[in-house]
Chain A
Amino acid sequence: DGGITQSPKYLFRKEGQNVTLSCEQNLNHDAMYWYRQDPGQGLRLIYYSQIVNDFQKGDIAEGYSVSREKKESFPLTVTSAQKNPTAFYLCASSKGAGETQYFGPGTRLLVL
């Protein structure tokens, strides 16, 4: 089955801790994206990558970091600098930048 997987489904973070959210795709897509969604809100772009070993900041990159060492993988680290990390995090991929996006099931991050 082709698609995008995100893990874990739920993630708990302690104060001052960095946590990493996983995103993997087997669609052979070049572009990958991370979004944050707060309750009742739309999607806000955190980071995106158009090609391996390259990525750009979105609208709310502060307190987050990413890497794109492999085409299939685009992990997101929520650092301790992100003071309000509780949200629903969505990963997506597309054939090319700006094209139709395919989303993963999401990871819900909660702060203990």
Chain B
Amino acid sequence: SQKIEQNSEALNIQEGKTATLTCNYTNYSPAYLQWYRQDPGRGPVFLLLIRENEKEKRKERLKVTFDTTLKQSLFHITASQPADSATYLCALEGTGRRALTFGSGTRLQVQP
């Protein structure tokens, strides 16, 4: 069966450190993968999209990698700040339908 797995345990790091979040998937062959940020009680906000032929994508302090052999994407936040504390969701297009399927998300807590 198709699965998208993100670490369900919260990630706690110190301000200024790099946060690394993982998204693993099985039985998908996605053309691209997306990352979203969700704050409590709000809708997710799009952060980055990476295509299958791209190994890495950057946007300011954010970096995403996409390894289609390992079926894994890593999401990095460098020089993390308390304002980066949120839940981060990965998403990819489900097989047989033109709609995204979301992982359950990983909660990041950046301590000052």
Interface residues of A (CB under 8 A from B): 31, 33, 35, 41-43, 45, 48, 50, 56, 58, 88, 90, 92, 96-98, 100-106
In the bound complex, residues from chain A placing their C-beta under 8 Å from that of B34 are: 100
- Assuming A45-B101, A92-B43, A97-B98, what are 18 further A-B pairs, CB within 8 angstroms? A33-B99, A35-B102, A42-B102, A42-B103, A42-B105, A43-B44, A48-B97, A56-B97, A88-B41, A98-B98, A100-B34, A100-B49, A101-B100, A102-B46, A103-B44, A103-B45, A105-B42, A106-B41
| Total number of residue pairs linking A and B with CB closer than 8 Å | 51
Interface size classification for chain B: 20 to 34
Kindly name the residue among A42, A58, A101 whose own CB sees the greatest number of chain B CB atoms within 10 A: A42
Task: Assess whether A43 is in contact with B89, with CB atoms less than 8 Å apart.
Answer: yes
Q: Which A residues touch B101, using CB under 8 A? A: 45
C-alpha spacing A104/B38, complex, angstroms: 12
Q: What A residues does B91 contact at CB under 8 A?
A: 101
Residues of B within 8 A of A (CB): 34, 41-46, 49, 89, 91, 93, 97-105
* Assembled-state Cα–Cα distance A23/B107 (Å): 27
Residue of B nearest to A57 (CB): B97
Can you pick out 11 interface pairs between chain A and chain B where the beta carbons lie within 8 Å of each other?
A31-B98, A31-B99, A33-B100, A43-B89, A48-B97, A56-B97, A98-B93, A98-B98, A101-B44, A101-B46, A102-B46
- A48–B102 CA distance with the chains assembled, in angstroms: 14
A80 CA / B52 CA spacing, docked (Å): 43
Contact indicator A106/B100 (Cβ below 8 Å): no
Partner of B43, one of A48, A90, A97: A90
- Taking a contact as CB atoms under 8 Å apart, the answer to whether A50 and B98 are in contact is yes
List the 9 closest A-B pairs by CB distance, nearest first: A97-B98, A103-B43, A42-B104, A98-B93, A43-B102, A98-B98, A48-B99, A100-B46, A42-B102
